[in-house]
């Protein structure tokens, strides 16, 4: 059975978008712009380890506080000797030491232009105090601030670098750095120590390291030695060696903070909820949102610096969607969250501030107050001790507030309360069963019309009740209170006390489909009203849980829930039949029904009753079997099939609150638990089958440091959604390894103190899902036949699976399946996930796969004569793209014409109206098997015309034509010998033919026909036979006399021999260029 740990993150940025210092390579310092939420002298504020930096016009103002005091306040518990019923003595409010140092930029320019850069957030919203003009929304934060011209020609740049706040002065060419003077006003002392500037405070010192200075020219950095100089509290820079003042100079000191802890703003986790989109909301208290920049040593009231901080995260926890800060001048805490149908967050809590932010149409804008009280301790700190947590100096009223979906608007906010404390549960003084944080319990819910309901407690005899209240007066020292407000918090629709003569407190409530309101809590009253006919009409011991039902604003019935020992009912939910199910704690032997899962002698009970509260449907106990409570309940749900989800925490923090047996050791877990072991101080999540029949799932969750303080919640409720996903707030302490998912918005807690974390965990999730891939392409749901897809199972929670491919195949492969759809059509692919242990048992995912026809055709391959035009043909497409394009009449039509000169394969990409495409080929073969092959041989004889022998070597042709170049044509396969009548240049064209195709071959020839060579030379200059003219050019000639002696020789005879030659008979040898040899005689006549 698969469980999903969706995400866990640390919300330790409540103060000022305070990302932990090691989370980002660029550092965690963020400069938050002042848009009216702080005093006007402050331009930006940055969070530092153990303090703040306020950027003013001409100064940098540091304020540090004692982080160890915060740790002591959160964890301290000096004694357990005070009686639970004793009246609190005069309380001393916890004070926190602080020290402010203002670095005054002496003689700086008030005209400096201040630029903010590197926007990192616009998700911060501040609703502090009751003056709405001081509220600020969409407040941006930046990674860098620059003071331009803070001194003449000098800029000051502040930025974050890893875990260090950096600042540097940038001195422009020609400017004088000696004008920079830093006066550390408010410092206890300032001195030089080993080249460093040591700034003493009443807490711990901080250091400015020896300044590193440099010039830069042409991308080359040259260090310029620099030193601090000191005159009283005023420091400046000295440069012992000359440097090139015409180059920009950077002076770069480094701040080192020697704080107690290195933590950022302290904040604690109280409550969490969700919306229908799966976003997680968490709320807690944060220290320091209203810190005032003060100089020198001082003390601040701890409670005055505590406000409510709300954060909204994306479903995967990777993105902070908004942060909102809500509070007045004294302390307040959030107890419960809910989101209405408009995705607006409603917050219920208590405040001690007379100036808590309320809206103009609120039901009540006046604070009534009460008596001082310190929750999360024993309420009775020793005078002068720094102990407890938030100090409610003015007592408390309830507050209910409504924040817009984007966090930018405080839409509605109201007080509800009387003149004594309201919303505070004095657990140590009145109750036998209590946990750390139970002081700050109660719940807010909404009905289908977005009306708002609250379950709480009041000590006020004048708590506002409506005229139709079933109980209009306070009966005991404190009574439970149930109330209803309209959606905009402008009207109190219904409000009633509920209780008897003892101490009574309401922890949770639900509204049913019938309109009834059910509530649970703890009572020490033996005289609760309307118990007649109830399942348990009498209290079993001194302290029982109670379950009450109201209908039409009137009390219908009450039943006690418990044993003869102490018992408490903490959480309630209704099943689809409106049967109330209660999650509570017991120190006794709580009744267990037959045939249910049980852990005997355990201190957590689940009890289901009928809507009339008259009979038990089942009850059981679950836990370690140590007798007594193991955990503090935090969330409870009954889903649509009756399965029950529960969560709680136990361990060291609860032990220090008096629950000596509190531990997660020994709690049952299942074999498929996310985490099977515990350090004893973790969260525990469980799932019980409908009717309590079996334990379907149980796991531990949280840190794993036995020596640590332990995981816990500082009061308040968390929630399951109806699909079994828990949205949980946590207080995770520094030094522990609390789990966080990769890429969560903040993954580490760098504080040794405890900070708010939030996690989202899916206990019972059955969700069928799959992806369709074509190769590496995801989400493919259509294609052309044949279409092959790979289906990958991405389901959660299934044990077995079944695939159906629209009637074309099936598979039970749990991981992935490849399937081919051969024919066009629509196919519904169905993945069914089965898990009989879940509420759904079966879940189905489907995708419709559209397979389109791909009836693409192209013309067949064909053979043509080279150069013969041929038409190509492609069909079935809307667009066409042919290649190669050479010779095509068009490359984008289905029927282009081409004139191939050689065999060519043409490719066409065909795309139809459905986007299907295919590439097909057509090969056009040019037939040149009968290409003419011929040879010409020339021969000649002296005095005879040249003979031309035509030799045909062509194979496969059906006909021949010999065009001789002189007008003669021979039509024969073997023409034989041919003679030209005249000498000259001729081109013989041989044409072969086959099946109507013709191919030609050109054969050039030179014809030199031999005429008769003259045999008389008469060199008398009459122009006739003056020389021996042989009739050839370029021939070789040799002349011999009658005795055979060579008398003349020329390799390139040019008809010049015969002049001035003695008469007589001569013999010649003539060799033509073609090699023909002629012999004869010639007579020279004188």
Nearest by Cα to 264 from 8, 45, 55, 67: 67
Residue 743 has pLDDT above 60, yes or no: no
Nearest by Cα to 98 from 140, 60, 69, 134: 69
Do 57 and 189 fall within a single domain? yes
* Residue 375 domain-assigned (yes or no): no
Residue 158 has pLDDT above 50, yes or no: yes
pLDDT digits (tens, 9 = 90+) for 5-14: 444 443 433 3
pLDDT digits (tens, 9 = 90+) for 749-793: 545 455 556 667 777 678 899 999 999 999 999 988 999 999 999
Q: Is the distance from CB of 471 to CB of 437 less than 8 angstroms?
A: no
* pLDDT (mean) for 869-893: 93
Q: Which helix (H) or strand (E) holds 819?
A: strand 816-821
* Residue 661 domain-assigned (yes or no): no
Confidence of residue 383 (pLDDT cuts 50, 70, 90): very low
* Residue 617 domain-assigned (yes or no): no
Task: Give the pairing of strands 164-171 and 154-161.
Answer: antiparallel
pLDDT at 790: 96
Alpha helices of 332-436 — where are they, by DSSP H?
427-430
Looking at residue 1055, the DSSP 8-state letter turns out to be: S
Q: Mark which of 980, 1007, 1034 sits at the end of a domain.
A: 1007
Do 239 and 92 fall within a single domain? yes
Q: Mark which of 234, 257, 280 sits at the end of a domain.
A: 257
Nearest by Cα to 169 from 125, 120, 224: 224
Sequence-distant (≥ 6) Cβ neighbours of residue 540 within 8 angstroms: 560, 562, 563, 564, 565, 567, 588
The first and second tokens of residue 352, run together, are 């001690």
pLDDT at 8: 44
pLDDT digits (tens, 9 = 90+) for 631-649: 999 999 999 889 999 999 9
Q: Which helix (H) or strand (E) holds 597?
A: none
Q: Mark which of 230, 257, 284 sits at the end of a domain.
A: 257
Q: Is the distance from CB of 990 to CB of 962 less than 8 angstroms?
A: yes
pLDDT digits (tens, 9 = 90+) for 893-931: 999 999 888 899 999 999 998 888 889 999 998 887 888
Could you list the beta-strand ranges (E) of 447-598. Answer: 452-458, 479-485, 492-498, 504-511, 517-523, 544-551, 554-561, 567-574, 580-586
- Distance between CA 420 and CA 439 in Å, rounded? 15
Q: Is the distance from CB of 380 to CB of 90 less than 8 angstroms?
A: no
pLDDT at 89: 43
Domain housing 815: 770-852
Do 202 and 92 fall within a single domain? yes
Q: Is the distance from CB of 43 to CB of 113 less than 8 angstroms?
A: no
The first and second tokens of residue 655, run together, are 């032990």
pLDDT at 660: 81
- Stated pTM of the model: 0.72
* CA–centroid distance for 564 within its chain: 54
* Residue 555 domain-assigned (yes or no): yes
Residue 72 has pLDDT above 70, yes or no: no
pLDDT at 642: 93
Do 776 and 912 fall within a single domain? no
Confidence of residue 307 (pLDDT cuts 50, 70, 90): confident
Instruction: CATH number of the domain at 981, please.
Output: 2.60.40.10
* Residue 223 domain-assigned (yes or no): yes
Do 986 and 846 fall within a single domain? no
Instruction: CATH number of the domain at 1076, please.
Output: 2.60.40
Across the chain, how many H-helices and E-strands are there? 3, 77
* Residue 137 domain-assigned (yes or no): yes
Q: Greater confidence, 1084 or 151?
A: 151
pLDDT at 362: 98
Backbone angles phi, psi at 88, to 5 degrees: -60, 135
Beta partners for 830? 804, 846
The first and second tokens of residue 746, run together, are 């903040």
* Residue 947 domain-assigned (yes or no): yes
Looking at residue 209, the DSSP 8-state letter turns out to be: P
Confidence of residue 25 (pLDDT cuts 50, 70, 90): very low
Do 31 and 134 fall within a single domain? yes
pLDDT at 204: 81
The first and second tokens of residue 1081, run together, are 């005689």
- Distance between CA 979 and CA 949 in Å, rounded? 9
Residue 927, Cβ density class (10 Å: 0-12 exposed, 13-18 middle, ≥19 buried): middle
Q: Which helix (H) or strand (E) holds 655?
A: helix 652-656
* CA–centroid distance for 913 within its chain: 37
Do 1038 and 898 fall within a single domain? no
Q: Annotate 778-816 with three-state secondary structure.
A: ECCCEEECCEEEEEEECCECCCEEEEEECCCCEECCCCE
The first and second tokens of residue 361, run together, are 């149409």
In whole angstroms, how far apart are CA 639 and each of 273, 521, 687, 977? 16, 22, 11, 111
- Distance between CA 676 and CA 280 in Å, rounded? 26
Residue 303 has pLDDT above 60, yes or no: no
- Distance between CA 8 and CA 312 in Å, rounded? 13
Rg of the chain (C-alpha set): 51
Do 203 and 103 fall within a single domain? yes
Sequence-distant (≥ 6) Cβ neighbours of residue 877 within 8 angstroms: 856, 894, 910, 911, 912, 917
In whole angstroms, how far apart are CA 982 and each of 945, 946, 947? 8, 9, 12
- Distance between CA 496 and CA 474 in Å, rounded? 9
Residues in the chain: 1086
* CA–centroid distance for 588 within its chain: 49
- Report angle CA 504, 505, 507 to the nearest 5 degrees: 150
Backbone angles phi, psi at 690, to 5 degrees: -50, 135
Do 952 and 1044 fall within a single domain? no
Name the domain count of the chain: 6
* CA–centroid distance for 833 within its chain: 28
Least confident range of 233-247, 494-508, 547-561, 937-951: 937-951
Q: Which helix (H) or strand (E) holds 185?
A: strand 181-185
Do 24 and 120 fall within a single domain? yes
Do 951 and 1051 fall within a single domain? no
Nearest by Cα to 1066 from 1027, 1039, 1035, 1031: 1039
Do 93 and 191 fall within a single domain? yes
pLDDT at 945: 80
- Distance between CA 978 and CA 938 in Å, rounded? 10
Residue 353: how many other CB atoms lie within 10 Å: 28
Handedness of CA 524, 527, 530, 534 (dihedral sign): positive
The backbone region for 325, taken as left when phi is positive above 0, alpha when psi lies in -120 to 50, beta otherwise, is beta
Q: Greater confidence, 571 or 724?
A: 571
* pLDDT (mean) for 560-576: 98
Beta partners for 240? none
* Residue 241 domain-assigned (yes or no): yes
The first and second tokens of residue 634, run together, are 């935090």
Residue 376 has pLDDT above 90, yes or no: no
Sequence-distant (≥ 6) Cβ neighbours of residue 131 within 8 angstroms: 355
Nearest by Cα to 263 from 29, 46, 49, 21: 49
pLDDT at 13: 35
């Amino acid at each position: 059975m698969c469980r999903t740990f969706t995400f866990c993150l640390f919300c330790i940025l409540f103060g000022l978008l305070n990302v932990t210092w090691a989370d980002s390579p660029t550092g965690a310092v963020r400069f938050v712009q002042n848009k009216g939420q702080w005093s006007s002298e402050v331009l930006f504020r940055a969070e530092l380890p153990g303090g703040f930096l306020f950027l003013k016009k001409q100064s940098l103002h540091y304020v540090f506080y004692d982080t160890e005091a915060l740790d002591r306040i959160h964890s301290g518990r000096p004694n357990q000797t005070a009686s639970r019923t004793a009246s609190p003595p005069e309380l001393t409010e916890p004070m926190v030491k602080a020290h402010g140092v203002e670095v005054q930029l002496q003689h700086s320019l008030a005209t400096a232009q201040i630029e903010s850069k590197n926007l990192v957030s616009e998700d911060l919203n501040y609703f502090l105090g009751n003056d709405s003009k001081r509220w600020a929304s969409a407040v941006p934060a930046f990674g860098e601030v620059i003071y331009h011209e803070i001194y003449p020609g000098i800029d000051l740049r502040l930025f974050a670098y890893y875990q260090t706040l950096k600042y540097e002065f940038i001195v422009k060419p020609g400017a004088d750095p000696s004008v920079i003077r830093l006066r550390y006003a408010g410092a206890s002392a300032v001195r030089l120590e080993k080249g460093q500037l040591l700034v003493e405070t009443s807490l711990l010192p901080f250091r400015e390291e020896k300044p590193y200075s440099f010039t830069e020219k042409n991308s080359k950095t040259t260090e310029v030695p620099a030193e601090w100089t000191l005159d009283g509290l005023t420091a400046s820079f000295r440069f012992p060696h000359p440097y090139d003042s015409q180059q920009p100079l950077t002076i770069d000191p480094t701040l080192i903070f020697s704080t107690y802890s290195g933590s950022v703003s302290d904040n604690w986790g109280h409550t969490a909820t969700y919306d229908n989109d799966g976003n997680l909301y968490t709320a807690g208290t944060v220290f320091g949102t209203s810190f005032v920049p003060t100089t020198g040593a001082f003390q601040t009231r701890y409670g005055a610096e505590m406000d409510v901080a709300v954060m909204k995260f994306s479903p995967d926890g990777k993105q902070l969607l908004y942060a909102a800060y809500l509070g007045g001048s004294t302390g307040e805490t959030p107890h419960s969250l809910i989101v209405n149908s408009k995705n607006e967050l409603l917050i219920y809590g208590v405040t001690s501030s007379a100036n808590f932010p309320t809206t103009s149409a609120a039901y009540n804008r006046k604070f009534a107050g009460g008596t001082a009280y310190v929750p999360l301790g024993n309420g009775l700190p020793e005078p002068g001790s720094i102990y407890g947590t938030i100090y409610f100096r003015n007592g408390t009223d309830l507050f209910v507030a409504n924040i817009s979906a984007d966090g930018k608007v405080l839409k509605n906010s109201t007080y509800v309360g009387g003149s004594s404390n309201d919303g505070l549960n004095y657990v140590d003084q009145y109750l036998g069963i209590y946990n750390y944080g139970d002081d700050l319990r109660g719940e807010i819910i909404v009905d289908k019309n977005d009306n708002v309901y609250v379950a709480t407690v009041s000590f006020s005899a004048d708590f506002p009740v409506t005229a139709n209240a079933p109980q209009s007066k306070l009966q005991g020292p404190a009574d439970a209170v149930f109330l209803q407000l309209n959606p905009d918090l402008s009207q109190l629709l219904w409000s009633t006390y509920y209780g008897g003569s003892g101490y009574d407190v309401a922890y949770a409530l639900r509204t049913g489909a019938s309109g009834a309101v059910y509530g649970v809590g703890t009572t020490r009253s033996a005289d609760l009203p309307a118990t007649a006919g109830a399942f348990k009409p009498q209290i079993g011991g001194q302290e029982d849980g109670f379950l009450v039902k109201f209908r039409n604003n009137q009390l219908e019935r009450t039943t006690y829930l418990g044993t003869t020992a102490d018992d408490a009912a903490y959480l309630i939910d209704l099943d689809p039949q409106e049967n109330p199910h209660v999650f509570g704690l017991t120190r006794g032997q709580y009744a267990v029904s037959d045939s249910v899962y049980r852990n005997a002698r355990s201190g957590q009970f689940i009890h289901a009753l009928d809507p009339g509260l008259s009979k038990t449907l089942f009850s059981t106990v679950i836990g370690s079997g140590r007798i007594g409570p193991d955990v503090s309940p935090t969330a409870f749900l009954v889903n649509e099939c009756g399965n029950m989800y529960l969560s709680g925490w136990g361990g060291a923090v609860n032990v220090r609150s008096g629950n000596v047996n509190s531990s997660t050791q020994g709690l049952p877990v299942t074999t498929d638990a996310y985490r099977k072991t515990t350090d004893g101080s973790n969260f525990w999540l469980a799932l019980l089958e409908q009717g309590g029949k079996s334990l379907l799932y149980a796991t531990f969750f949280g840190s794993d440091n036995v020596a640590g303080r332990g995981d816990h919640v500082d009061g308040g409720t968390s929630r399951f959604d109806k699909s079994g996903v828990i949205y949980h707030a946590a207080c995770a302490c520094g030094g522990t390894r609390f789990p966080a998912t990769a890429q969560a918005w903040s993954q580490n807690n760098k504080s040794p103190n405890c900070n708010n974390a939030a996690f989202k965990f899916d206990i019972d999730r059955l969700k069928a899902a799959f992806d369709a891939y074509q190769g590496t392409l995801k989400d493919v749901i259509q294609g052309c036949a044949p279409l092959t897809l790979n289906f990958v199972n991405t389901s959660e929670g299934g044990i077995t699976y079944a695939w159906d491919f629209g009637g074309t195949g099936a598979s039970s492969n749990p991981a992935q399946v490849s399937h081919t759809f051969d024919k066009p059509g629509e196919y519904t692919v169905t993945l069914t996930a089965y898990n009989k242990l879940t509420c759904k048992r079966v879940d189905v995912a489907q995708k419709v796969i559209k397979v389109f026809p791909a009836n693409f055709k192209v013309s067949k391959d064909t053979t043509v004569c080279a150069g013969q035009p041929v038409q190509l043909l492609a069909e079935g497409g809307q667009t066409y793209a042919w290649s190669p394009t050479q010779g095509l009449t068009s490359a984008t039509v289905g029927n282009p014409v081409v004139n191939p000169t050689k065999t060519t394969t043409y490719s066409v990409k065909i795309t139809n109206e459905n986007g299907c495409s295919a590439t097909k080929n057509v090969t056009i073969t040019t037939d040149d098997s009968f290409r003419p092959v011929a040879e010409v041989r020339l021969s000649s004889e002296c005095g005879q015309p040249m003979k031309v022998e035509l030799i045909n070597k062509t194979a496969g042709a059906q006909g021949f034509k010999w065009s001789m170049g002189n007008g003669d044509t021979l039509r024969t396969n073997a023409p034989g010998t041919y003679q030209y009548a005249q000498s000259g240049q001729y081109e013989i064209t041989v044409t072969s033919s086959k099946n109507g195709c013709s191919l030609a071959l050109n054969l050039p020839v030179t014809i030199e026909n031999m005429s008769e060579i003259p045999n008389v030379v008469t060199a008398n200059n009459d122009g006739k036979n003056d020389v021996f003219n042989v009739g050839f050019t370029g021939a070789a000639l040799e002349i011999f006399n009658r005795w055979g002696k060579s008398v003349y020789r020329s390799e390139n005879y040019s008809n010049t021999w015969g002049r001035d030659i003695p008469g007589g008979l001569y013999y010649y040898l003539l060799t033509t260029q073609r090699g023909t040899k002629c012999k004869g005689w010639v007579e020279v006549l004188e």
